[in-house]
């Protein structure tokens, strides 16, 4: 059986993040990729200058069409844009029970806002209860919980709060913290694990969060267990970041040509 993964996310015309990064990640993991665009952006490696949402009814129609014909084995969400989009997406996904990786993109890495407080509430109310894995960075974890995340202990407290709000498993990404990047994975069993990494001195990190979550979703679609999928995705991402393409005049894209280790 060919593994199939679906991404529901924004479009990045520069190809470094969003739908484009997700599909590249699925492909290199030998997973058939499907995509539903939730918003369009005007951006390049120097930043985002415009965002325009896709109509929620059009998003829902695309999802219904996919599930009726080529249903995915795992799903990943990225930037979703509007409150109504979040509601409609959740309503479409809920009946199918596929592993869902929710990357709660509330702000682009350039600082361009994709959301308002009502969008944060929509995530908490509609998507967290469906999330097999929630993958906030520390800034997003703070926005979702109201807690301060400045170290692994803070990440654990935020992850526990997010699990209490409905997410089955939570991965708090520590790339924004000082020092070496340490991620915190809290599983539904209550067990937690610190995932250590080495910081790479490069400006070419555009799309890191999208790529990380997409790699996990790809591995889940292949039948890997969650802990293995997270560990191996992080290891692959480190190699991807360490071999930059050097494209663009700002925060350049990752090197999605790097082959992952697949079982």
9 and 217 Cβ atoms separated by less than 8 Å: no
Three-point CA angle 253, 93, 26, nearest 5°: 30
Q: What share of the chain is helix, strand, coil (3-state, %, to 5)?
A: 40, 20, 40
Contact 136, 104 (CB under 8 A): yes
Q: Which residues pair with 80 in a beta bridge?
A: none
DSSP labels for 86-103?
HHHHHHHHTTT---EEE-
Q: Are 222 and 213 in contact (CB under 8 A)?
A: no
Q: Which residue has the tokens 């960075």?
A: 137
- Annotated active-site positions, please? 173, 205, 207-210
| Dihedral over alpha carbons 130, 131, 137, 138 (to 10 degrees) | 70
Dist. CA 114–CA 82, nearest whole Å: 9
Distance of CA 200 to the CA centre of its chain: 21
């Amino acid at each position: 059986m060919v593994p199939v993964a679906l991404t529901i996310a924004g479009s990045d015309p520069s190809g470094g993040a969003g739908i484009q990064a997700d599909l590249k990640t699925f492909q290199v993991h030998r997973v058939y990729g499907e995509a539903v665009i939730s918003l369009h952006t005007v951006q390049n490696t120097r930043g985002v200058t415009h965002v325009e949402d896709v109509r929620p009814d059009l998003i829902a129609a695309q999802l219904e069409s996919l599930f009726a014909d080529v249903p995915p084995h795992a799903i990943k969400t990225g930037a979703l844009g509007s409150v109504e989009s979040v509601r409609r997406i959740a309503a479409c996904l809920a009946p199918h029970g596929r592993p869902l990786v929710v990357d709660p993109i509330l702000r682009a890495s350039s600082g361009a806002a994709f959301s308002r407080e009502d969008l944060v509430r929509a995530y908490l109310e509609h998507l967290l209860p469906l999330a097999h894995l929630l993958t906030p960075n520390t800034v997003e974890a703070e926005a979702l919980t109201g807690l301060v995340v400045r170290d692994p202990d803070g990440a654990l407290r935020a992850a526990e709060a997010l699990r209490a709000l409905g997410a089955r498993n939570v991965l708090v990404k520590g790339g924004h913290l000082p020092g070496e990047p340490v991620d915190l994975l809290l599983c539904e069993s209550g067990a937690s694990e610190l995932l250590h990494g080495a910081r790479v001195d490069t400006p070419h990190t555009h799309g890191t969060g999208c790529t990380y979550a997409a790699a996990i979703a790809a591995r889940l679609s292949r039948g890997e267990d969650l802990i293995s999928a997270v560990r191996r995705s992080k290891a692959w991402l480190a190699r991807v970041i360490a071999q930059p393409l050097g494209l663009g005049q700002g925060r350049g894209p990752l090197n999605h040509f790097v082959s992952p280790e697949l079982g």
